[in-house]
Structure 1
Amino acid sequence: MIEFRPNPAITIGLVGGVASGKSTVAGLLADRGLVRLDADAEARAVTATPAVLERIVERFGSGVLDANGRLDRAALAAIVFDDRERLHELESIVHPAVRRALHSGIREAHARGDSVVLDVPLLLEGSLAEECEVCIFLEVDDATRAERARGRGWDDGELARREANQMSLQCKKAKCAYTVDTSGSLSSTVRQVDEILARIASSSGS
C-alpha cells in the first residue's frame, strides 16, 4: 500500500451523486495517510450539543427527538428533504458550525504536513470547494446507485428526491480533475485510487 505525503500537503475533495462510494474512497485515502474529514460526522457532533439541539427543536418541534431526547435524524430528514425552505432553515443552524470545524481541521492537518480528504455532501455547491487543490469525481451507473440506496432502506424515489435540487452529475464531473469508477469491484476502485495518487504525487514533484 502506498503512503501519500506530498509536500506541501494538499486537500482532495470527493464529488459524486448519492450512493456513489464517497465513504469507501475516503476510507481508502485515509488508509494511505490522508486525514479524513467527514461532514456528516461533524454534523452529528454539532447537533448533539445542547445549544444546537435546542435551536433545532424550537424550529422543527419535539417530534425530531427520540425517546431518549436525542435527535432523531430520520425524522428530521423526513421533514426537510421534501421542503427546500425547511432544509435551508436546518442548514442555517448546522452548517456554519460544521464549516468552521472542517476549515479548522484542514488547517491543523496541513500544519502537521498531513494531506486531507474531504467527505462532504454537495462539496462543489459550498465554500469548502475552495480548499481543494484536487477534486475526484466518483462515477457509478444509476442501477448500482439505486441498489445501494435500497440497501440503506430507502424507497425507489428517495434517491431522486435527495438529488432534485443538486447540481447535475455532468456538471460535477466537468469540475473534477480525475474520475474513479466505483461501480465495479473494490479491487478495481483501489487500483484507480492508487493510480490517481501516483499521478498527483508526480505532478507535485513529491
Structure 2
Amino acid sequence: MSGKPFVLGLTGSIGMGKSATAALFAQRGVPVHDADAAVHTLYGPGGAAAEAIGREFPGTLDAQGGVDRAALREAVLGDATRLKQLESLVHPLVRRESEAFLARHAGAPLVVLDIPLLYETGGEGRCDAVAVVSAPAAIQRDRVLARPGMTEAAFAAILAKQMPDAEKRARADYVIDTGSGFPAAEAAVARIVADLTASPPVAPIPGKA
C-alpha cells in the first residue's frame, strides 16, 4: 500500500489499559504514535514546550529546565482557564509531531495514533476509525489509585476533564475490553490488525473488536 495508511485512533480514559494495548499493536509491527511520549519529550529540558510553559506558568520548571509535572498539575488543577492555556501551548506541538509520524510511515498499511484525549480534542476527525480501551469502573479506580502519588482528588479531577467511558464506547468503531485480562485484549488487537490490514480493509462494526 502506498500514499496513506489506514489511521486507527486509540483512546481510553485513565486506568483503562490503553498504553498496554498500544504496546500490543506495536508488537504486531504496527507503527504507533504515542501522544503522551511526545508530550514527555516536549516537556523535557530543551523541549519545544518547556520554555513556553515556564514563561506562562512560573515555578513549573525543574532545575534542568524541564517541566515539573507535579508543579504544573497543581498550577492547572481545577482551573479551566489555566488548563485551556496549557492545552493551547501543547496541542499544536503534539499535532505537528503526529503529522511528521504519519509522513514517515506513509507506506504502512496501518498506523495507530495513541491519543488519551482523542474525543475531547476532536482528534477523531484525523482517524479512519477509533478503538476505545475500556474496563469496569471498579477496576479502573483500583488501577489508578495504585499509582504512586495519585490521590482521590487528582483522580476525580482527571475524570472530570475526560469524556465518560460509556460515551466513548458508544462512539467507538472498536471497543477493547481489558477488564477480563490482557490475553482477551491481545486477541481483540489481533482481529483488528487482521481486518484493517486486509486489502481492502474490512469495515469496522461499531463497538466490536
TM range (shorter): 0.7 to 0.9
Q: Which residue of 1 aligns with 2:53?
A: 56
Over the matched positions of the two proteins, sequence identity in percent amounts to 34
Distance 1:129 1:204 in 2: 21
Distance 1:128 1:103 in 2: 12
Out of 15, 19, 22, the residue aligned to residue 15 of structure 2 is: 19
Q: Which runs of 5+ in 1 are unaligned?
A: none
> Does 1:146 find its partner at 2:151?
no
Q: TM-score if structure 1 supplies the norm length?
A: 0.86
Report the 3-state secondary structure (helix = DSSP H, G, I; strand = E; otherwise coil) of the residue aligned with 1:196: helix
Change (3 A) 1:18 1:180: same
* Number of aligned positions between the proteins: 200
Q: Which residue of 2 aligns with 1:161?
A: 157
> Does 1:136 find its partner at 2:128?
no
Matches within 5 A, 1:22-171: 22-48=18-44, 49=46, 52-61=49-58, 63-110=59-106, 112-153=107-148, 154-171=150-167
**Contact 2:33/2:101 (<8 A) preserved:** yes
Root mean square deviation, CA, Å: 2.3
Distance 1:52 1:101 in 2: 12
Shift of residue 168, structure 1, vs aligned partner? 2.2
Code of the residue aligned with 1:54 in structure 2: it is E
Change (3 A) 1:149 1:8: same
Code of the residue aligned with 1:29 in structure 2: it is F
Q: Which has the higher contact order (CA 8 A, sep 6+)?
A: 1
Q: TM-score if structure 2 supplies the norm length?
A: 0.85
Q: Which runs of 5+ in 2 are unaligned?
A: 203-209
Report the 3-state secondary structure (helix = DSSP H, G, I; strand = E; otherwise coil) of the residue aligned with 1:204: coil
Higher mean alpha-carbon deviation, 44-53 vs 190-199, is at 44-53
**Contact 2:6/2:196 (<8 A) preserved:** no
